[in-house]
Structure 1
């Protein structure tokens, strides 16, 4: 309700900017066009990072890539400023300045900042090979922004959020198995093959590759107790490693079932809703009340 009141009192430009960036129930065409353009820009930046790292790059291609990075920096910077501007509409339950601070400090707000900061640093700081490599790595952070424009990635985020306690518990059990098996294997094998198991970290490396089923074969137990421990770890890991996947799959099923139920409820409400009256000059708030459940995610979900 607070957001609807703020939307009703906001300027037309601010409302349309909010709809375009937040994929809300109104202005869907603008939201889709904006989302597609930013999505394409993010993917293009990720692809160009690999081409720009090629040795012996043609000077013309290097110039084009540099201009493209400049264009991307301007676009992402304007998007960041626009999201700060409309933050009071995205977070309708707090004051405008607290809403802007909440967006800036949110995970997606930090990612939005990092999406253009590397290029700004490269503009004002002499670029060394080490700085160039670091900037290229930071540019890949832009890929995380895709989660705003892909419903499937948002679903993954919701599943992780709702099942975080079960997932963390399962990984703690797996971590316990890794730590115990690494200590046992080090104590058993280091007297026999000190070069292979020369530290607990080496035992930890063996435990991780064994539990995950990677099995590089570069470090293997040769003693009978060591092989028994290794066999037991492999058998336990088959059961334990599957637990997070099962929790995640169950969360996906529940999320899609909930989405189907919400869609059925919306359809039923629309079917029983009387015909809408023609909008009046003061009915801006009424426009926002329809299809409220279809509104896209706000920064608060990040």
Structure 2
């Protein structure tokens, strides 16, 4: 039974597997569309009722899919805590939380319904490369985040030193200066907080130069990893074709 279900749920090269994938993809799009429509003002009671039943049916089928994947997984715990396992869980849990406990605090979990969009990654070959990319650059990304955190702290401390006396309300502490550091290092520059002293402006110039480098590093990592992921797919495809030729 597990083998048969695994061929349907996990193997999209078979006819039944493709049908299963198409159904799940349709449900994802339907669910996301219903979620977007829910945000429209002045909806009629009939529309609200229809949207509720769409959400309920989608959740029921997503839950069945989630339980099936746990059942057919060779290592259930590994799947549950994997990228796809977490996304599948986040796609269904907001419904059960808000349905069980009608509390305003728990209603905030409804925002996690947007994570259903990530479920599409599994059903798209091109998008699935991002899963490979995440594994390839995991260590580099962690290192990048650590270095970025250090730069944000240094930028916050530096601008606090220059601007605290001139603008005590905006740069009241290193923590308050953190917002300026983040928007500056990411080169966004909203303009809501900016230096007015000569030292602060010179310091900002150097931080902007650093920020340009910080922004380009992730793009380079992802681009190189995507190229490598494509090469890995091509190699796997060639290896599969060679095995099929040998078997024939």
TM-score by length of structure 1 reads: 0.74
Q: Equivalent residue for 2:169?
A: 195
Check whether the contact 1:46–1:140 (CA below 8 A) recurs between aligned residues: yes
**Unaligned stretches of 5+ in structure 1?**
1-10, 92-98, 276-302
Q: After superposition, what is the alpha-carbon deviation per residue over 1:11-49, rounded to whole angstroms, capped at 9, x for unaligned?
A: 3xx433211211255xx1111111111112112212211
Which structure has the larger Rg? Answer: 1
Query: Which of residues 120, 123, 136 in structure 2 aligns to 1:146?
Result: 120
Query: Which of residues 47, 50, 57 in structure 1 aligns to 2:33?
Result: 47
Change (3 A) 1:108 1:260: closer
Distance, in Å, in 2 between the alignment partners of 1:198 and 1:266 is 62
Check whether the contact 1:174–1:241 (CA below 8 A) recurs between aligned residues: no
**Unaligned stretches of 5+ in structure 2?**
none
Matches within 5 A, 1:102-181: 102-125=78-101, 127-128=102-103, 131=106, 133-181=107-155
Q: How many residues matched?
A: 248
Q: Bigger relative contact order, structure 1 or 2, given CA contacts below 8 A and separation 6+?
A: 1
Change (3 A) 1:111 1:265: closer
TM-score by length of structure 2 reads: 0.89
Check whether the contact 1:42–1:145 (CA below 8 A) recurs between aligned residues: yes
Greater fraction of residues in helix: 2
Change (3 A) 1:189 1:169: same
Q: Equivalent residue for 2:24?
A: 38
Q: Equivalent residue for 1:280?
A: none
Q: Equivalent residue for 1:15?
A: 3
User: What's the offset of the Cα at 1:137?
Assistant: 1.1
Query: Which of residues 64, 80, 89 in structure 1 aligns to 2:66?
Result: 80
Matches within 5 A, 1:220-235: 220-235=194-209
Q: Equivalent residue for 2:49?
A: 63
Check whether the contact 1:73–1:120 (CA below 8 A) recurs between aligned residues: no
Matches within 5 A, 1:204-219: 204-219=178-193
RMSD, matched Cα: 2.2
Q: After superposition, what is the alpha-carbon deviation per residue over 1:105-161, rounded to whole angstroms, capped at 9, x for unaligned?
A: 444334323333333344444x35554x42531322322222211222321121121
Distance, in Å, in 1 between the alignment partners of 2:109 and 2:153 is 35
